[in-house]
Structure 1
Amino acid sequence: MKLSKLLENLEYKITKGNSFEEISADSIEIRDVVNDNRKISEGSLFICIKGANFDGHSCAKEAAEKRAAAIVVSQDVGLPENSEIAVVRVEDTRYAMAFISAAYFDHPARKLKTIGITGTKGKTTTTYLIRNMLENAGHKVGLIGTIEVIIGDEHIHAENTTPESYNLQEYMHRMVEAGCDSVVMEVSSQGLMLHRTQGFTFDIGIFTNIEPDHIGPNEHKDFDDYMHCKGLLFKQCKVGICNGDDIHTDDILEGHTCEVETYGFGEGNDIRAINLAYIHKPGQLGVFFDTDGLIKVHAEVETPGKFSVLNALCAIAVARHFGCSEAEIAPALKGAKVKGRIEMVKVSDDFTLMIDYAHNAMALKSLLTTLRDYHPNRLICLFGCGGNRSKLRRFEMGEVSGKYADFTIITSDNPRFEEPEDIMNDIETGMKKTDGKYIKITDRKEAIAYAIDHGEQGDIIVLAGKGHEDYQEIKGVKYHMDERELIQEILEERK
């Protein structure tokens, strides 16, 4: 492929080596595009990316020595004397990589209906709801998100919520080849900040909600920066579908270039949920509701609370743009299941047990207050916190569980390079700010067994923090640990 084709949507300058001699992109043939110096080969285009721990610009000399055809840089680099490698100078190499990758894979997003979802909570669940709904209506839908990438029958473990632009374009290219007509993906604030979703325009962009999160070193400097990055999606989509009840929606939409629709419970929303009724049976929690406004549907979701209704409303709003009927929407909503997101696990006819990914105070409070609406006999919360992370999160989660759960089981999560007991003691510090009752059990399987053995009629038990994860990270090693398997082992042992 000609270098000029890869650079067609970018502003750039090309010189030969370190000289000031300008050359034409039309004269350079590219065999491959890479951003990992270990993958540089003769005739390749190497994009120098500056990461948190490594700067690809330091590999410019290596690229020249390996006879790469060209490198893309945003700063001066060291090259061998008299090197003739083409040096493409751009303002931002990450931004350039998104457009180069899109061109390299022949612009797959133009052959798909693209749906991007951003927000603090609800992204993962909503992507699966939308996929379920559209597939139920006869579409073939790819998915990219926190848990996995789905391409046809292939499920690929996800490393990042939103992959690097090269990988994202490659996934979409493979989706086109697999016969997909659409893709739904989670779009993280990091992904937007690092230009991973540049190079194409989303057909639909979605905003679920926002609360302070991902603020700190190598993430966002403050909440305003976090909101700004979330808002970038609405300058990269044709239609924006937003939670009209979130107090920050106007801030997120500042400077938007898309048409806007809203959903929620409030009167002013384009699609509203009305006539809510809660479902509570042993092992099952859910909600019935109707919609009013742009589309009228009677729906049931088999997960609890108002946030489940908001996720479903969002999916319904998307389905409307695909011309889906109520007969296609309703069963897809009811049947949608997401691993580790309020995932019900049947263990008893007396009480309800669920697994959820809530791993910070905000998510845990939202979950526990939602479950309170179902008037359990007791609300039991089992959780731990990750090691080598903020102690503040531990104090806050301990305080939240102490305040909103009737009983807390403090256990180990991913201790990483810390001692589990030290982390649990920090959680206990937060617990002691409340009158909440608790017990500490370090081994997670033993903790889960304690919860099951002491479950009472009408209890709701939440195993929080691990969700979809199937490992426990200890001293730099990830050991297999899936809570679903632990539960089955416990039940077998009890027989």
Structure 2
Amino acid sequence: MKLNQLLERLEYEKIQGSDQTEITTLINDSRQVQQGSVFVCISGAVSDGHRFAREVAEKGASALIVEKEVDVPRHVTVIRMKDTRYGLALMSAAYFGYPAEKLKIIGITGTKGKTTTTYMIKSILEDVGHKVGLIGTIEAVIGEKKIPAANTTPESYTIHKYFAEMVEIGCDSVVMEVSSQGLMLHRTAGIPFEIGIFTNLGHDHIGPNEHKDFEDYKRCKGLLFKQCRLGIANADDPWFEDVFRGAACQVETFGLSQKADLQALDTHLVSRPGYLGVAYHVSGKMDFDVEIDIPGTFSVYNSLTAIAVCGHFGVSQDVIRRALKAAKVKGRIEMVKVSDDFTLMIDYAHNAMSLESLLMTLKEYNPARLVCLFGCGGNRSKDRRYEMGEVSGRLADLSIITSDNPRDEEPQDIIDDIKTGIGRTSGAYVEICDRKEAIKYAIANGQPGDVIVLAGKGHEDYQEIKGKKYPMDERVLIAEVLEELGKK
């Protein structure tokens, strides 16, 4: 492949060499450069790819894509452009043969709800015969292959690599989470989204290496709606109009309010031993009843989003209703049946904001007791521990403090910090450092009408201790506990 084929949709300046240079691979990690590679120098938050220019030239790179001056031998082609991250995105698309143009791509952005909504949409579309790829916080799903995720929205090269693999196995559509960071860093630049979705906006991801302020956060969320054909938005979110200011797409809305194109009416909670859900009537652009096996008002919004999208794929109401009932998301209010008397679930809530939202949702079901088992990750701000302790102490009837991912810290030190937060409340608690033993205590002491939530680990299947990840899946721990207690 010639370099100019990768550059065909970009503006650039040739500093030295020829844009007709033959290249073998497209690389932005200096460690992976080989003979004939084109290396894209990215100015990152941690390191600057321009620093490795001479090193990659010595490794055999044929060409470098740069934003600033580099010192390399004259036989190495140097191409300069305004933004190499943007360049990498469009070059990646070209490198893999523009696979995005062979797929219907649904992008979901928002502070909460992205993960659950992606799985709901995938479930419904697959029910009517679509072959759907998925890229998100938990994993990328390409047919039977599941690849654990490092970022909500991967680097652009990885996205197009996944798209190419999806096309190869016959996928016709993709549903993907699109983070504000991914938009800001041009990871999704040039992707022709069929549908863009806005779930909601909260004050999150503001700070060093993320967004400088809330205005920047809103602006970046809005970028998705400048590169999609149809935007579907939560009309009830107070920042909806700000996010869609400057949108270049057709816009539809969903929500609980009358102004929404697709409304949820008569929303009510559904509760029975071992089961929590929510039901409502869909009105507006469609008309039918829905029940979801995931509790809380936010489940109404997530499912409305999925309904709105699938309406544009011509999915019948009966199929939507059936598929929503079956949709499950690993580690997101994931019910695990352990008793006919009480309800147990696993959830990824791992900071004060998400834990408070979860516990407030569960309190709406008026459980006999709300039991919250949780820990906090090591090598993170101590404030998170105090805050999570205070939230659980205030909202749960019983907190079971245990270990999460201690990383390089001593688990007991983290537990002591959590206890400081709980101490600001009158909440009852027990501390059991070993997570399996903590789960065993929760199940063995479950009482009729209890709702027990295991918070913090969610979809994770490991525990990180002293730089090493050890296998630990809460579903496995629960099964082992039930066997030990003679309940299986």
TM category, shorter:
over 0.9
Once residues 388 and 421 of structure 2 are traced to their aligned partners in structure 1, the CA distance between those partners, rounded to angstroms, is: 7
Q: Is the aligned partner of 1:294 residue 2:285? A: yes
Once residues 73 and 165 of structure 1 are traced to their aligned partners in structure 2, the CA distance between those partners, rounded to angstroms, is: 17
Q: Deviations over 1:450-487 (max 9, x none)?
A: 11111100000000110000111111111111111111
Q: Deviations over 1:23-51 (max 9, x none)?
A: 552x2222221112222222221111222
Among 379, 382, 401, which residue is 1:388 paired with?
379
Q: In the TM superposition, what are the counterparts of 1:396-435 in structure 2 within 5 Å?
A: 396-435=387-426
Among 63, 87, 94, which residue is 1:96 paired with?
87
Q: In structure 2, what is the equivalent of residue 121 of structure 1?
A: 112
Whichever residue aligns with residue 173 of structure 2, its letter is S
Once residues 176 and 336 of structure 2 are traced to their aligned partners in structure 1, the CA distance between those partners, rounded to angstroms, is: 27
Q: Is the aligned partner of 1:105 residue 2:107? A: no
Once residues 417 and 389 of structure 2 are traced to their aligned partners in structure 1, the CA distance between those partners, rounded to angstroms, is: 8
Q: Is the aligned partner of 1:186 residue 2:177? A: yes
Q: In the TM superposition, what are the counterparts of 1:70-469 in structure 2 within 5 Å?
A: 70-80=63-73, 83-469=74-460
Whichever residue aligns with residue 64 of structure 2, its letter is I
Whichever residue aligns with residue 209 of structure 2, its letter is N
Residue 201 (structure 1) shift: 2.1
- Worse overlay, 134-143 or 430-439: 430-439
Once residues 430 and 118 of structure 1 are traced to their aligned partners in structure 2, the CA distance between those partners, rounded to angstroms, is: 32
Q: In the TM superposition, what are the counterparts of 1:470-485 in structure 2 within 5 Å?
A: 470-485=461-476
Residue 370 (structure 1) shift: 1.1
Residue 323 (structure 1) shift: 0.9
Q: Deviations over 1:227-280 (max 9, x none)?
A: 222222112211111111111112221222111111110110110001223221
Once residues 427 and 236 of structure 2 are traced to their aligned partners in structure 1, the CA distance between those partners, rounded to angstroms, is: 32
Once residues 285 and 382 of structure 2 are traced to their aligned partners in structure 1, the CA distance between those partners, rounded to angstroms, is: 46
Q: Is the aligned partner of 1:2 residue 2:17? A: no
Whichever residue aligns with residue 118 of structure 1, its letter is T
Aligned with 2:176: secondary structure? strand
Q: Is the 8 A contact 2:278 2:293 kept in 1?
A: yes
Whichever residue aligns with residue 97 of structure 2, its letter is D
Whichever residue aligns with residue 280 of structure 1, its letter is S
Q: In structure 2, what is the equivalent of residue 15 of structure 1?
A: 15
What TM-score do the two structures reach when normalised by structure 1?
0.96
Aligned with 2:418: secondary structure? helix
Q: In structure 2, what is the equivalent of residue 19 of structure 1?
A: none
Once residues 57 and 194 of structure 1 are traced to their aligned partners in structure 2, the CA distance between those partners, rounded to angstroms, is: 17
Residue 183 (structure 1) shift: 0.2
Consecutive unaligned residues in structure 2, runs of 5 or more: none
Q: Is the aligned partner of 1:33 residue 2:26? A: yes
Aligned with 1:425: secondary structure? helix
Once residues 483 and 471 of structure 1 are traced to their aligned partners in structure 2, the CA distance between those partners, rounded to angstroms, is: 9
Once residues 265 and 184 of structure 1 are traced to their aligned partners in structure 2, the CA distance between those partners, rounded to angstroms, is: 24
Aligned with 1:78: secondary structure? coil
Residue 160 (structure 1) shift: 1.4
Residue 319 (structure 1) shift: 0.3
Residue 185 (structure 1) shift: 0.4
Q: Deviations over 1:195-227 (max 9, x none)?
A: 110122211111111212222322222322222
Once residues 411 and 188 of structure 1 are traced to their aligned partners in structure 2, the CA distance between those partners, rounded to angstroms, is: 31
Once residues 213 and 298 of structure 1 are traced to their aligned partners in structure 2, the CA distance between those partners, rounded to angstroms, is: 34
Residue 411 (structure 1) shift: 1.2
Q: Deviations over 1:382-418 (max 9, x none)?
A: 1111111122222221121122111111111111112
Once residues 286 and 195 of structure 2 are traced to their aligned partners in structure 1, the CA distance between those partners, rounded to angstroms, is: 17
Once residues 254 and 361 of structure 1 are traced to their aligned partners in structure 2, the CA distance between those partners, rounded to angstroms, is: 31
Q: Is the 8 A contact 2:134 2:174 kept in 1?
A: yes
Once residues 423 and 230 of structure 1 are traced to their aligned partners in structure 2, the CA distance between those partners, rounded to angstroms, is: 34
Once residues 196 and 364 of structure 1 are traced to their aligned partners in structure 2, the CA distance between those partners, rounded to angstroms, is: 30
Once residues 242 and 428 of structure 1 are traced to their aligned partners in structure 2, the CA distance between those partners, rounded to angstroms, is: 40
Whichever residue aligns with residue 46 of structure 1, its letter is F
What TM-score do the two structures reach when normalised by structure 2?
0.97
Aligned with 1:251: secondary structure? helix
Whichever residue aligns with residue 220 of structure 1, its letter is H
Q: Is the 8 A contact 2:444 2:485 kept in 1?
A: no
Once residues 276 and 284 of structure 1 are traced to their aligned partners in structure 2, the CA distance between those partners, rounded to angstroms, is: 17
Aligned residues: 486
Q: Is the 8 A contact 2:363 2:370 kept in 1?
A: yes
Residue 15 (structure 1) shift: 2.1
Aligned with 1:299: secondary structure? strand
Q: Deviations over 1:125-170 (max 9, x none)?
A: 1000000000111111000111111111211122211110000001
Q: In structure 2, what is the equivalent of residue 53 of structure 1?
A: 46
Q: In structure 2, what is the equivalent of residue 20 of structure 1?
A: none
Once residues 382 and 252 of structure 2 are traced to their aligned partners in structure 1, the CA distance between those partners, rounded to angstroms, is: 39
- Worse overlay, 96-105 or 420-429: 420-429
Aligned with 2:54: secondary structure? helix
Output the aligned Cα RMSD. 1.3
Once residues 205 and 432 of structure 2 are traced to their aligned partners in structure 1, the CA distance between those partners, rounded to angstroms, is: 29
Aligned with 1:447: secondary structure? helix
Q: Is the 8 A contact 2:18 2:77 kept in 1?
A: no
Q: Deviations over 1:84-120 (max 9, x none)?
A: 2110101111111000000111111111000011111
Aligned with 1:220: secondary structure? coil
